[in-house]
Structure 1
């Protein structure tokens, strides 16, 4: 493992090294990016659910006596995979929020802001009005995002995020 960590990053393509928003943004983040993040996850989950229903119908017709046992496992794996997709949505939305604050709402030439808390403080210091309970709520979501980023849930035991949670965020 130590040898692997020593060489970590040696194989990264030059194109990806030191990549910044200046390399890939044309227009910057817009409101539609938020909707797109939720829509793409929703569409992927709907497609997976449709695939499961088709597979379940086939299994029930071919193995009616054991179908429930077979499908229990498949349904659970589908559920856990869907949780991962909602985790990715949370991660993406958090990044979008931070990008909007950093690149559209506060002075871009100010010192580099690390973390959502510092970005929210800069936003308030720039004259924007945000209720303390809204800041507290955003920071709770940031803490959740940080938890699943820095100590990811086990493969078959994801945190139970769902679409309603993400829409609430």
Structure 2
């Protein structure tokens, strides 16, 4: 009787694993509109889940979210400085190509008073990193914002945006930073 229960549990785990893997593999990101590029900011871990990170494209506020989720951001192709802020500010430079999809993994790290944010380029050849990203896309609907919400926050944070952009410019002069090139896009299956 005990071995029958063990076999049933093992079969159940195997079936759930197969279902979970097929769901993750079946989920594909939505391509951008014509002549646009799309960037997915994906927070893959639950660390610092209660702390919301704010996201920006150069001097434009593009949203905020907490915990494991993602923000799909459609934009003009070309050069961008994407950055996020919490207890700290981290940034990533990007040169985006029209019609392509890019992923940025958002990591929460322990900070003094709140979680610190780290933006990472997704290495599509690294199966474990891509699997974490696709798992979030499969299980979450993503966050969305109304234009008036974004504009209101943009106006509230105008001086903070300006000072953070100055600090980012200084950091660009002093240290190496992450870059996303046009060819570092995700390939749809």
Normalized per residue, the structure richer in strand is 2
* Structure with bigger RCO (C-alpha 8 Å, 6+ apart): 1
Q: Which has the larger radius of gyration?
A: 1
TM-score, normalisation: structure 1? 0.29
More helix by share: 1
TM-score (norm 2): 0.27
